[in-house]
Chain A
Amino acid sequence: METTPQFFRHGPSLLVRLVFFIQLSLALMVVDTHFKYLYEARQTIAVALYPIQNLAHLPTAISNLANDFFITQDLADENARFKQQHLIDSGKLQQLSALTIENEHLRNLLEATQKNKSKTILAEIRSIPRDPFNLTVILDKGFQNGAQNGQVIVDHLGVIGQITHAYPWSSEATLITDKDHSIPVQILRNGLRSVASGTGKYKTLELNYMANNVDIQEGDQIVTSGIGGVYPSGLPVALVSKIKRDISSAFAYIICTTIAGVDRNKQVLILSPQLPPENLMDSANIYLEDKESEKNDAH
């Protein structure tokens, strides 16, 4: 140990240190926004902080447990309600399976590509960052549990967002309302296609490039169109809440409110991205085989 008290010890002067740290953080910010080199560093820190994130979740987990333990009366009510809901849902499901088969037949007749079934993982929202600038949530499933970048997050009501950073045991999902996020949609009533972009505001989306005389009404439901292949088609996204048709501008100003909400400790589903259809894979394989045989012929 040093003999001089800490009081008298001096490193480089304060101002020098300040300038150094300012330059370092500015450099980090530039690198992080313009190049994607810092992903590993982020991942390492995220793994190191995983225990703390878990610990932060503990009080709510305990209170949930306590609630489960004490509220038995509600449980009976809830059970009855769920039974009813289950009955209704299973009725609908029976219809759905019939419809799915019918749809498959029709698609076969039309020689159209089959709709893909996606795999799902159940996850929970761990925390919502306090930063108002980036609309993200942290989920409790990472790539060790099968979560990947680009997967879609939905809840029982509709689309929430998309995984943007998958860490080993947790992942970061960007909400559809994020300013840099767009989602291909269509209006359920008439099948009109558009793109809904986030506005950066809570639960608010904007429909871009819709002509002034477009057939759209307040209260219309918009669902994913499935174009682009990231979002499966037919997932509810939002309800149209405000339409402003301004003659002076080329496009109508259409604001929608998202259906799915993001609350704490909510169960969500992670949908795996749509795999390329099997026949596409087959055709790719055939193409590769052809190429190989050509090569062999050349030899």
Chain B
Amino acid sequence: MTEPLPLEIQKVHKKFKTGFLNLRNSVAVEDLSLSLRSNEIVGLLGPNGAGKTTTLKMVTGLIFPTAGRIRLFGEPVDRRVARARMGFLPENPYFYDYLTAEEFLHMTCGLADMPLAGRSERVARMLRKLDIWHARALPMRKFSKGMLQRAGLAAALIHDPDLVILDEPLSGLDPIGRRDFREIILELKKNGKTVLFSSHILPDVEDLCDRVAIIVKGRLREEGSLSTLLEQGTRNTDIEIACPEGRQDQLAREFPELDRGATLSGFRLGVPTDVNLQEILRRLVKLEFEILSVRPHRISLEDLFVTTAEVKSAEGKSADEKSAVETVADGKPDDGVKEDVP
């Protein structure tokens, strides 16, 4: 029998009731489907108000989908047994400020139904791993933002979950903290865990993720492995050649269709994706130009993210104008959402 997927989101919708007498519906997530396979790291991206946090709240059982289905390891998310194998770090985690970090982690051990024996060792190990051992006896109200984030991650991982969900885990961390968190996330994957995290820090996503899902206005717009998505976005290839004085006119005559420009060490020709690169290279060799480098320009995750967000946002706006539906942020804590009137 095959092991069920760690996370399956199927055609999920989420509407919030807003306005006077709750007569307006704010659409936060629309027809969202996404699955996570075992032992992969998936990044959830999207501009502010896209529906990332709403999605993660549904996945963790804090709020319920208006329609659709969410399963953790084959079980509905509202079952305790399903959530037992999941660890969650909310965005800007909030803590009981009257507890010390040690007390808090002991409490999370209890919430995870861990037996009393071995709890102290596990707590000590997590405090050391997250580098807050020195502050274990301090009330958490005295913690810095980075220390709180570390305590939150320790709590999320205390019961060694198979699926780890992190909402903006790298925000508020200094460079050392970000490095530590990145290492922990990679270590989780090495240990066979599955990680889903949302982030605005795209270089980190690019470094860590096997796959990304981009949500804009509550809809999943792009999803796939990073290499595939970025491959699709290859723009052009730059050929740098040594170009003695007087031969630039020859280049202009021979390659009028190419973008040209001087560089420090020679001359650059930009070859678009629809032009045969091999043919250009063959002709350059034939014309006895010295080729210094050939460098394909790939789209970065940031380019892909901005393009997707802008294009889909513009599409959304025109659709909204057509249907004369007012778009208002509803004041829900984390997500801006579309509103419609029933």
A and B interact physically: no
Q: Which residues of B contact A (CB under 8 A)?
A: none
Q: Which residues of A contact B (CB under 8 A)?
A: none
